[in-house]
Amino acid sequence: MKNWLIMLREIVTQLWRLRPFLRPGRWLVISVVASALVAAVLEGFVIAAMLPLITMLRADAGNFKNVLEAEATLRWLPNALPYHSPKFYVGVFCATIFLLVAGKNIVILISQGLMARLVRTVSANLRSAVFQKLEHTSIQVFEERKGGELGNLFSIETIRTQSTIEFFLMFIQRGLLALLYLAAIVVISWELTLGMCLLVVGVAAISAVLQARLKGMGDERSEAQRNLFGFLGGVFSGMRVVRATHGEAEAEKRFEQYNQRLADVEARAAVLNSLTAPVSEVLAIGGAMVLVWGAYVYLILYGRLSGPMLGSFGILLLRMLPLMNHLYAVLGNLGYASGGMREIFVWLDLPRFPARPFGSKPFNGIQRSIRIENLSFHYPNGTPALKDLNLEIPAGKTVALVGSSGSGKSTLASLLLRLREPTSGRIVVDGTDYWEFDPAAWHARLGMVEQEAFLFNETVEHNITFGSAGATPAQVQKALRVAHLEEVVAGLPKGLETMVGERGTMLSGGQKQRLAIARAMVREPLLLILDEATSALDNVSERQVQAALDDARRGRTSVVIAHRLSTIRNADLIVVLAGGRIVETGTWAELEARDGAFRELLAAARGGHLAEAG
């Protein structure tokens, strides 16, 4: 019993946290509880009407009047409805019971409809809240978590949370009925009430063992599902690697391990769940029979309880035992399903990014320069990525960042994009800390092209205008020209309306990169960040993309992260990074003339490629 109370307290605490997601569903909660209360009252009237009916059915026509006068529950009837035959009185009670039962079930039907609407409202609001939280949490979360975990979150865990709400409301409805039956038993006999309470506590104590195990299995199932969906997300995203390495057998083996683990947990949970109801029923019926026998021996035979009252107790017991059995099953399902809420709140409790709010100043461009002042960044585990960087990026110039893998190039790009928050130091645009600019204004005039262009499984036009919904057809065409993509689009089956496939599988590598360039250029960016945009391409595609990048950079402030040194020969300034620090700066000619880090990078190059991919 103690474990159940603790579990219910935890569930109530978690449900209380769901209050913000009830809007506009609070009236639904009130309606569901109120309808449950009305149904319980109507059930009470049904029981109250059945007891006098049973008494009348035991009387024959000759002594019917005497029974009415002798039975306390029927003395009012001749005064309320005088001078009628026995069949009339019996008919009235039968009709009354029918109407009460029909009314109760109509109320229950309404309650279930309201409950279904409430659950849908909460589920939709909860999914929206999780999505919004993920949109505004640290990018680190997506780098550390498996993609399949998010699918599990939006499917399995939200469904489990929905089930928790349903089971909890069901528990309230059944609980109200149980309290009503208990009150009626108290009126009949306090001794029987005490016996009933001992019976309930005994059955609850024995069933609690099964419920505790079910609760633990809910957590096991959640973990098994996360592992399975995480594995599936990785395999399907990397299917090219799986097939290229002939790793299908290994992938199948690991899938079977994860799948079997989930199946084992679900099987054990199903067995335990199926045991809950029959075990509870057997224990309850056994205890109830002991109660009836004891009532007869110690109460009826000693004249402390009448036969009709014991019959009334028996009716209440028959109505209450299935109800208690159902309550035990609902409690078990509550323990099993409540793990979904715990998992969802793990995600909802993620810190919001950024910890320091963005400002609201308009961003009108870069007039003089971007200054990086004493900039440092540490990952959450404490590993330093950048250390006290100081750099000036003049307006309208191209600054190239070079260095070996792990030198901090991409981290600096992420900071410029405001995807990460500096640990210390700042980035200043014309004297204004760039964190003070309005997010929409900053990103609206910022273009980015990464090493691997990410494309949505949508049309070409959707991929170009994503994030720039107000782009005009003229702007789209201009972006296509800058990206050297006009002929490619013209040759597609449906032009701009052609679907590009998952991650752009219908396009070549060079075409995907140029499409990413078009997406950046449709924004008419004031700051262009190119993160190794040609490193994954063949020579022909590289020349095509490089030509597009040269046109894109013209007249713009650009930051280029270079893997192939040949692509940044004409940069206005080359910055060499090593170990998160700036070790050299200068033009190509200046750095080539020195005996420094840049010369070492050139020496390591093979055919224009760095020996160490960075």
pLDDT tens digit sequence for 391-447: 999 999 999 999 888 888 889 988 998 988 999 999 999 999 999 999 888 888 888
CATH number of 2-10+21-348: 1.20.1560.10
What pLDDT is attached to residue 24? 59
Q: Among all chains, which residue has been given the structure tokens 């014309």? A: 430
- CA-wise closest residue to 316 among 93, 95, 44: 44
Name the CA dihedral angle for 517, 519, 524, 529, rounded to a multiple of 10 degrees. Answer: -50
CA distance 149 to 147: 5
Average per-residue pLDDT in the chain?
81
Least confident stretch, 424-438, 506-520, 579-593: 506-520
What percent of the chain lies above the pLDDT cut of 90?
13
pLDDT, tens digit, 9 for 90 and up, residues 208-232: 676 667 667 777 877 788 788 778 8
Instruction: Show the tokens assigned to 501.
Output: 């496939």
Least confident stretch, 158-162, 206-210, 444-448, 554-558: 206-210
Domain ranges for the chain, please list them: 2-10+21-348, 356-445+571-614
Looking at the DSSP bridge assignments, the partners of residue 97 are none
Least confident stretch, 146-155, 350-359, 473-482, 549-558: 146-155
User: For residue 340, what pLDDT band results from cuts at 50, 70 and 90?
Assistant: confident
Question: Considering Cα of 64, then 69, then 72, then 76, what sign does the dihedral take?
Answer: positive
- The whole-number average pLDDT for the span 300-328 is 74
In angstroms, the Cα distances linking 57 to 32, 50, 51, 93, 282 are: 37, 10, 10, 11, 31
In angstroms, the Cα distances linking 283 to 120, 177, 206, 278, 474 are: 37, 20, 9, 8, 77
- The whole-number average pLDDT for the span 276-297 is 77
- CA-wise closest residue to 578 among 392, 388, 386, 425: 386
What pLDDT is attached to residue 62? 63
CA distance 483 to 545: 8
What pLDDT is attached to residue 422? 92
Q: Among all chains, which residue has been given the structure tokens 């449709």? A: 522
Same fold: 2-10+21-348 with 356-445+571-614:
no
pLDDT, tens digit, 9 for 90 and up, residues 435-457: 999 988 888 888 888 877 788 88
* DSSP per residue, 296-356: IIIIITTTSS-HHHHHHHHHHHHHHHHHHHHHHHHHHHHHHHTHHHHHHHHHHTSPBS-SS
User: For residue 148, what pLDDT band results from cuts at 50, 70 and 90?
Assistant: low
- The whole-number average pLDDT for the span 75-95 is 76
* Most confident segment among 25-29, 273-277, 360-364, 566-570: 360-364
Least confident stretch, 42-46, 270-274, 398-402: 270-274
* CATH number of this structure's domain 356-445+571-614, picked from the four choices 3.40.50.300, 2.70.70.10, 1.10.150.120, 3.90.1150.10: 3.40.50.300
pLDDT at 610 over 50: no
More confident residue, 240 or 514: 514
- Do residues 587 and 594 touch, judged by C-beta distance below 8 A? no
Q: Beta strands 573-578 and 557-561: pairing type?
A: unpaired
Burial class (CB in 10 A: 0-12, 13-18, 19+), 361: middle
- The whole-number average pLDDT for the span 273-289 is 74
In angstroms, the Cα distances linking 37 to 116, 166, 203, 445 are: 18, 16, 26, 59
